[in-house]
Chain A
């Protein structure tokens, strides 16, 4: 039977992390499960935790200015879910929802952030790993932006010209 430590040590996110830190992470972690369609966190709520997805699928969503929900990202096994616990004002900026039965590891972010501030070796490792995830999310979001803008341009050309300039804001 695998221990929580074993499961954590297998996660690509923690690859080649010093075992002492891995243990510290395991001390601030627990396994958790979500049902299909269960809300994991809500935009605007306090962000005190993060997850690593072991099994299943989670979507990140936000709302367009007109209230229409927009899918920002779909996450799966091995993916990190949630970084707002690292950044003031420590509130979620998106909704996260399990779209199928999902197994994850919960990490107590607030406590880890204190540990990072006290031990900069750990802090450097955590920020570096999370920054790499942020870099990938940024690239994916800007890919979606390019597609959305291109689709809008094509749509506009097919219709009659709009009176408002596209890049007004």
Chain B
């Protein structure tokens, strides 16, 4: 896909405009990006104008296997939709291996802390294999959500579902750890 190859050189950083270089032949690339965003199940049912707003704050991005996408405690100003690959959501532990909370794949959403105070990442996200994703500039979108509650409702209600899944995964780990702790000791 041309949209993929174009983003090979992009680095995980925030661009002021949120757009790839908007010069010369940018239009077809932006159209392709918008089509890609419109095709995401996560945004199913969203209005054309909202999809456009999302596309205006997005770019494609690649991560190598093992690369940290964001770390717990980082300022949260972005989110991603996975196009291909696999991303781990991890709970950090001092002096120990992180706890794997969820392994996310294509179509799934990574990062929701951008939408709520204190705007700090609550988990670490790490690419488990070579991963392609769509990056969204959360800070920009957050301001637009505040100004336009139609958009705000659409994004807030979707992010709440993501948060719900993280809560359920955390509870699951907690319950499992209780079961292990109370397992009878071998004689």
Contact = CB atoms under 8 A, between A and B. Distances in A.
Interface string B162-187: 01101110110111111111110100
Interface string B109-125: 00000011100001000
Contacts of B163: 131, 134-135, 138
10 contacts: A64-B178, A72-B174, A87-B161, A93-B171, A120-B149, A124-B153, A127-B160, A131-B159, A148-B174, A148-B181
Contact of A64 (B99, B149, B160, B176): B176
A141 interface: yes
Given A63-B175, A138-B170, A145-B99, A124 B145 contact: yes
Given A131-B163, A152-B180, A139 B153 contact: no
Interface of B: 91, 93, 96-97, 99-100, 115-117, 122, 145, 149-150, 152-154, 156-157, 159-161, 163-164, 166-168, 170-171, 173-183, 185
Q: Is the interface of A mostly helix, strand, loop or mixed?
A: helix
| Most chain B C-beta atoms within 10 Å of own C-beta, residue among A63, A138, A145, A155 | A145
Interface string A56-76: 000000111110101010000
A127 B179 contact: no
A127 B167 contact: no
B100 to A, nearest CB: 7
Given A123-B157, A153-B96, A72 B171 contact: yes
The 4 closest A-B pairs by CB, nearest first: A120-B153, A64-B179, A124-B149, A124-B152
B91 A135 contact: no
A68 B149 contact: no
Tell me the interface secondary structure of chain B in the complex: helix
Contacts of A135: 116, 122, 163
A128 interface: yes
Contacts of B154: 120
B152 A149 contact: no
A87 B178 contact: no
B171 A62 contact: yes
Contact of A86 (B122, B160, B174, B178): B160
Contacts of B164: 83, 87, 134
B99 A130 contact: no
A131 B182 contact: no
Nearest to A93: B168
